[in-house]
Amino acid sequence: MHKVCAFAVALLLTTAAGPLAEAAPSGNKKLAKKLFEKGELFYQQGDFPKALSYYKRAHKTLRHPAFIFNIAQCHRQLKHWTKALFFYRLFLSERPSAPNRVEVRRRIQDMAAKAAAQDALSKQVGRVSIITTPEGAAVRVDKFSGPAAGTTPVILSLSAGAHLVLIHKPGYEKMHKTVTVKSGGIAMITVTLKPLVAPRRVEPRRVESRRVKSRWVEPGGVAPRRALAPDPGTTLAPASRAYKPFWKRWWFWSGVAVSAVAVGLGSIAGTIALSEADNYLTEGNAESYNEAKKTARIADAMLLSGAVVAIATTIGAVIIHGRYKKKLRERVNPVTVTPACGARGCGVFVYGRF
């Protein structure tokens, strides 16, 4: 790497840099040198994509063989064998008598061999069959984002070698599988997706606020030692919660809103239909007549729908209101008096809700 830096700097600073560099404006030279120095900084940090970007910008600003050599070096580090081979050959065509020409020829041979091996490997193709339960999962190969390669069940054609397969379906856990593809063969992946388990919600325990009291009253007015009480297993549901009035129920206001919207839209459609009919009568346009008929049918349908919803809402409100009033009448006298007999004699059993 240091040989590369020294070689590029020498080519930039020496007077034997070539006629193109000598003819270039001084401003381009300064900018090219600045871009080259930034590229060298990223190259020394191992950030080859950024270094490649700055080398290309420097070469675009000032055409020079040194930049071509550095571009080839970056492609070699990034394992872009074909591109590295191209730029090494371009460098020798620009500077056939370069001091490092022996090293560059050795690089060319190495890149040519690796490019041929990569091309041969890419021609070796196998297939992978991916089946999931349930179906419809997105499949990505050797990447975690971007467009999916397919949706299960699917058969993919992949180059020979090891591949990472990511399987994901909304509502299920992501699955990662490593598969080795052989040339001309087919590999199988069969998985059962696990659904995501939502945290269980614990409902708060409701505490009954009503108290149930009972008392045994003897004819003499003295309470016995053992008072009769209702079965502790029975519970009393508040009537006001079981039968809410209709104006406190969601379906009543939903029905009112739906009927109002339907009637409003029907009225608007009717107005449009009348306008189209007037155009037909005044201008005799057949198209206006057809539009008037179509809009009139829409208006009739909307008005009929609004009327049906309004009638259904009214009937429901009447029924619920009748039940609600009945419960209110039952709660007027919550105290129940029942004759009963005990060990000391007969009396009455008083039961009430307070």
For the chain, what are the domain ranges?
A: 2-119, 124-192, 241-331
- Residues 94, 72: Cα–Cα separation, whole Å: 13
AA identity, residue 187: A
181 forms bridges with which residues in the sheet? 161
Phi, psi dihedral angles at 47 (to 5 degrees) = -95, 80
- The correct answer on CATH 3.40.50.300 for the domain covering 124-192 is no
pLDDT score of 341: 65
CATH of domain 2-119: 1.25.40.10
Q: Token pair for residue 120?
A: 């041969």
Side chain identity at residue 200, one-letter code: R
Q: Which of 83, 24, 6, 16 is nearest to 48 (CA)?
A: 83
**Same fold for the pair 2-119 and 124-192:** no
Q: Tell me the C-alpha distance between 221 and 348, whole Å.
A: 10
pLDDT for the residue 202: 64
Backbone phi, then psi, for 163, in 5-degree steps?
Answer: -140, 150
Q: What CA–CA distance (Å, rounded) separates 277 from 71? A: 76
Q: State the Cα angle at 65 between 28 and 78, rounded to 5°.
A: 105
DSSP code per residue over 167-205: EE-TTB--EEEEEEE-TT-EEEEEEEPPBPPPPPPPPPP
Is 74:86 a contact under the CB 8 Å cutoff?
no
For residue 274, what are the CA distances in angstroms to 268, 279, 305?
10, 9, 20
Res 47: pLDDT: 93
Task: Report which DSSP code applies to 206.
Answer: P
Closest CA to 136 of 166, 176, 169: 169
Look at residue 183 in the predicted model and tell me its pLDDT.
78
Q: In 10 A of CB 107, how many CB atoms?
A: 21
Pairing label, strands 125-133, 186-192:
parallel
Give the per-residue pLDDT at 137: 92
C-alpha pair distances (Å), 128 with each of 27, 80, 132, 152, 185: 56, 26, 13, 12, 8
Predicted pLDDT at 344: 64
Q: Is the dihedral of CA 339, 344, 350, 351 positive or negative?
A: negative
pTM: 0.38
Average pLDDT for runs of 10 along the chain of length 354? 43 41 66 91 93 92 90 93 93 90 92 88 82 92 87 87 90 89 85 83 60 49 48 44 69 84 86 80 74 84 86 83 71 58 62 53
